[in-house]
Every structure is written in C-alpha cells, then in structure tokens.
C-alpha cells in the first residue's frame, strides 16, 4: 500500500515543515489539563492576523486561561450564528462566567461594503451569475457582507446582543473593549 500523493500549496508545505521541526524538537511540553478556561473567561475578538500574539500578551493570558472566539470585526451578526453558539457552549459546557468583546483599531471590517466585496470576489473568479443567484436566494447576504461604521458602536451592539440573549444567564458578566492594534492598550466601551 502506498501513500496517496497530495499536492499542497506552498504555504501548507511550509507550515507542515514547521510542524515536523516543532515535533522533532520535542513538541509542546507541559500542557493545561483541560479545555475549561482557568479564568472562566471567553473573549470574542476579530480574526485580524496581528492579534495572534498581541492579544494574549496585552491581556496577560496564556494557553488554558480563556476561550477565544475569533470572527471578522468581533461582531455577533446572528443570535444563533457560530460566534453566539460558541459562547453558549462556553458558558454551558466550559464554565465561562465572564465574556469580553474586544474590537480593534484599523479593523478591515470597518467600512466594508458588500458591493465592493462581491466585485472583488468576481475578480477572483466567482461567476457574476453565482453572485446574483446568492443575493436573490439569501436575503441576509448583503447585510452579512456589510461591515460597520464606528468601532465602539459595533462592540456595544455585540455586547447588547450577548447580554440580552434569552439563553445567556443574567449572572454572566459581559463587557466591551477596544484594543489598539499598535500598542495593545485596551479601552472600555460604553454600552
Ligand atoms: Zn478586525
């Protein structure tokens, strides 16, 4: 039996080589015992690639401390979408009692327009007909693909969505913040 030949992209190949080196050097060492966050904390934040190291450093958290939920703009778009589902699971199954929503400065979701985004996707090879079909089929598509205007307003909106969710216990603390993507400084958001 011979292994199936898989053609990976250059990026995948690089990551896989990194992983072989990592494992070859002994791997991760001592690990937290469970996925239950030790600080009983969940964080909803953006997928921005600059947050990968900055966020845990700026907050003083390490592996095992917090459940991280990363979605574009740190926005809870849908009360039963993936981000909210993750939060409900974190509260019910992982013992989370505190939820921080952390938007960031210079966020790509700020000012994002569905029209521009769809045009870019067409340039990348999505047929125009497919775009038109999706917009006709899914009335929420345009809203979902539209970003926000003001960071603080968007964070506040997500905080309110979580606080007022019928399946979130009133005892759960939910607050909103912005993080400066250059300095890592947190600022509270009035809700
Ligand atoms: Zn962002």
d(CA 45, CA 37): 16
Ligand 1 centroid – CA 136 distance (Å): 28
| Residues 98 and 57 reside in one and the same domain | yes
Ligand 1 centroid – CA 48 distance (Å): 5
Ligand 1 centroid – CA 161 distance (Å): 19
User: How large is the average pLDDT for residues 2-8?
Assistant: 74
173-183 confidence digits (pLDDT tens): 999 999 999 99
On whether the CB atoms of residues 146 and 114 are closer than 8 A, the answer is yes
Ligand 1 centroid – CA 77 distance (Å): 14
| Residues 139 and 158 reside in one and the same domain | no
| Residues 61 and 44 reside in one and the same domain | yes
**What's the chain's average pLDDT?**
94
For the beta carbon of residue 54, count every other beta carbon within 10 angstroms: 17
pLDDT of residue 45: 98
Q: What is the DSSP letter of 50?
A: T
d(CA 111, CA 100): 23
Number of domains in the chain: 2
Query: Taking the model in full, what pTM does it have?
Result: 0.90
| Residues 102 and 59 reside in one and the same domain | yes
Ligand 1 centroid – CA 110 distance (Å): 8
Ligand 1 centroid – CA 31 distance (Å): 29
Q: β-strands 173-179, 98-104: how paired?
A: parallel
Ligand 1 centroid – CA 112 distance (Å): 11
6-60 confidence digits (pLDDT tens): 899 999 999 999 999 999 999 998 999 999 999 999 999 999 999 999 999 999 9
Of the chain, the percentage scoring pLDDT greater than 90 comes to 86
109-131 confidence digits (pLDDT tens): 888 899 999 999 999 999 999 99
Residue 4: band (very low, low, confident or very high) from pLDDT cuts 50, 70, 90 = low
| Residues 102 and 166 reside in one and the same domain | yes
d(CA 44, CA 147): 17
pLDDT of residue 128: 95
Ligand 1 centroid – CA 13 distance (Å): 27
Ligand 1 centroid – CA 56 distance (Å): 16
The verdict on residue 17 lying in a domain is: no
What phi, psi does 154 have (nearest 5°)? -70, -40
Range of the domain at 185: 31-110+149-189
Ligand 1 centroid – CA 47 distance (Å): 6
């Amino acid at each position: 039996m011979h292994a199936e030949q898989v053609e990976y992209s250059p990026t995948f190949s690089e990551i896989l080589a990194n992983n072989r080196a990592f494992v070859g050097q002994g791997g991760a060492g001592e690990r937290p015992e469970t996925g239950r966050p030790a600080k009983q904390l969940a964080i909803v934040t953006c997928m921005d690639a600059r947050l990968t190291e900055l966020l845990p450093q700026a907050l003083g958290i390490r592996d095992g401390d917090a459940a991280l939920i990363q979605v574009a703009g740190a926005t809870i778009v849908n009360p039963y979408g993936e981000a909210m589902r993750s939060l409900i699971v974190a509260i019910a199954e992982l013992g989370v009692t505190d939820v921080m929503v952390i938007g960031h400065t210079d966020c790509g979701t700020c000012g994002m327009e569905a029209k521009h985004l769809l045009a870019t996707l067409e340039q990348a090879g999505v047929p125009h007909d497919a775009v038109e079909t999706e917009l006709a089929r899914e009335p929420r598509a345009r809203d979902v693909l539209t970003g926000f205007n003001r960071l603080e307003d968007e964070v506040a909106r997500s905080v309110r969505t979580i606080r007022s969710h019928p399946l979130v216990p009133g005892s759960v603390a939910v607050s909103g913040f912005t993080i400066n993507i250059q300095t890592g400084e947190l600022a509270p958001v009035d809700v």
